[in-house]
Amino acid sequence: MATSDLPLKAKSALSPSELADAGALVREANWNQLEADWRIFLELGRVYAAHTDAGRIVATAATLPHGDRFAWISMVLVAGDYRRRGLATRLMRRAMDDLAAAGLVAVLDATPDGRAVYRALGFQDSWGFHRLVLRERPSAGEIPAAPAGVTIRSIADADWPALCAYDAAAFGAERGTVLARLRGRLPAAELVAERNGRIMGFLLGRDGRVAVQAGPLIADDDAVACALLARALDALAAPVFVDLADAKAEVRRWLEALGFSAVRPLTRMLYGRSQRYDDAARTFAVVGPEFG
């Protein structure tokens, strides 16, 4: 069967062998996702896969809706022997068609190489961020204290409704079910900032194949954002990823002073529009390019 004729299937579940195939694609690309990340797409979104005659998955894409306005496209992966044969484009168009039929605007985070491809498909640049990595724990560095009157503490179950409402106002959609899938994966990063009983910011995180990832980080200002990160970094083992918005220059300077360095830039792109849904002032670090 020619590569262009490989069947594409939308998946709500993957067999153990198919999960192994998906994991092999992640390892080949040297990406950070674990099986738990694939399960988020399977449970809350959709995974598209191209199969060989023998049933092996050799290419994927995934979608994840956020509310009733927009949805992510990510996990566009193709096995090395099957690249440059149109599979990624077929999967992207299938995902885009299904999102359009559902009335959802497609959003994605593009690497520099992918950005030109996505622009040709109709995506427009919205804003940028960089993946920063801490490869070794810092031996020294200025650790900012929380602003006056702000308490940084672990997230409690009782915080969850207000935290999700705070996040929805900043992200532009309610995504509590997605955030709930992160809880418990990196407890040291599960922090909330509050003042007089009002949430001022929060941080979550997750384990990964290559590094742990701190994010999302949503906060009222730089000082709260740095205080949340400082508390988490004091307990996390390196390597650590933070996907930090380019607009947050002061936070980036502080992280670089601790030893973080930029790995690559990414561009958030929306299909047919450039206007962002989220609150630029409160968006410091994203969950990751796969989730938004």
pTM of the model: 0.94
Per-residue pLDDT of 147-158, as tens digits, reads 899 999 999 999
What local confidence, expressed as pLDDT, does residue 1 receive? 45
44 near 178, Cβ under 8 Å? yes
What local confidence, expressed as pLDDT, does residue 209 receive? 98
Q: How far is CA 256 from CA 4, 141, 160, 251, 265, in A?
A: 45, 10, 31, 9, 15
Residue (of 142, 131, 266) closest to 211 by Cα position: 131
Asked if residue 41 has pLDDT above 90, the reply is: yes
Instruction: For residue 112, say if its preceding peptide bond is cis, omega within 30 degrees of 0.
Output: no
User: Is the domain 130-264+272-285 a CATH 3.40.630.90 member?
Assistant: yes
Per-residue pLDDT of 64-118, as tens digits, reads 999 999 999 999 999 998 988 889 999 999 999 999 999 999 999 999 989 999 9
Asked if residue 140 has pLDDT above 60, the reply is: no
Mean pLDDT taken over the chain: 94
What local confidence, expressed as pLDDT, does residue 141 receive? 58
What local confidence, expressed as pLDDT, does residue 4 receive? 57
Look up tokens 């990624």; give the residue.
88
Q: Please, which pLDDT band fits residue 256 given cuts at 50, 70 and 90?
A: very high
281 near 171, Cβ under 8 Å? no
User: Is the domain 3-103 a CATH 3.40.630.30 member?
Assistant: yes
H/E stretch holding 216 reads strand 212-219
Q: How many CB atoms lie within 10 A of CB 241?
A: 23
Asked if residue 138 has pLDDT above 80, the reply is: no
Asked if residue 143 has pLDDT above 80, the reply is: no
Compute the C-alpha angle 30/213/128, nearest 5°: 80
What local confidence, expressed as pLDDT, does residue 172 receive? 98
Look up tokens 């002061």; give the residue.
250
CATH 3.40.630.90 domain extents, the chain: 130-264+272-285
